[in-house]
Amino acid sequence: MTTHWIAVMGNSPGVGKSTLCVALASWLRDAGAVVDHFEEDEILTRAQFRGVAEEFVDGKGVVHPRTLVAATRSYVEHARRSGVDVLVTDALIPFVPSLVAWGHDEPAIAEIIRDLERAVEPTRVSVVYLRDDPAVALRRAVDRSGPAWGEWYVGKLGAAPGTRSVVDLASAAEHLRREADLTLRLLADSRWDVVIADAGVADAEQIARDVRERLRGRLQALVPSGH
């Protein structure tokens, strides 16, 4: 049975969640665990998320919450049948950025998270939340991917029902600050363990070391001493 889900999310693009996912997955595999590393762009290609992909690409780009919950349940059940020990996912649950963009308010998102909690039981979930100043992280993402990416990102947010106030990188950063506050409130009320890491005060290697140490006690059965 899958014993643990490490869900890595961040308060902004460019905050380093994909890099952290790679480091955590490698650490766990080196310790002998069977790991499924679910990368961010796989949500449109994984078989268990076919329903999500079909709703997202139907021209509206909006997915019904029950579809997200059903896909999540299917994913966990498939992992259990496949003998996976740990799931390491990049920007998957609890889907807060997407739910905000699709126009759901805080009470509705809180109810969706409760549905997700029930869907993944009895798998234990640790949410690793990476945070940085969104303005700094967005500039890092633009420097990495180019100005066209920044235009695409602003356009994507500005076109969504819940984020139409975004018209440039500055308003995108302000939206991400509000979204981070919402996310942390929701996570504080969830049944899941939450590990918060400040990406602006350490490099990627140090962040990975710190997160590993904070997760180690939750993973004692999977990570032998010395790993």
Region 53-70: mean pLDDT is: 87
What pLDDT is stored for residue 225 in this prediction?
A: 65
Give CA–CA dist 101/60, Å, rounded.
Answer: 12
pLDDT in tens, 145-187: 999 999 999 999 999 999 999 999 999 999 999 999 999 999 9
What pLDDT is stored for residue 193 in this prediction?
A: 97
For residue 226, pLDDT over 80 is answered with: no
Predicted TM-score of the model (pTM): 0.94
pLDDT in tens, 11-57: 999 999 999 999 999 999 999 999 999 999 999 999 999 999 999 88
DSSP assignment of 22-86 = HHHHHHHHHTT--EEEE-GGGGGT-GGGHHHHHHHTTTT----HHHHHHHHHHHHHHHHHTT--E
Q: What percent of the chain has pLDDT over 90?
A: 89
- Neighbour-count burial for 95-115, b at 16+ CB within 10 Å, e otherwise: bbbbbbbbebeeeebbebbee
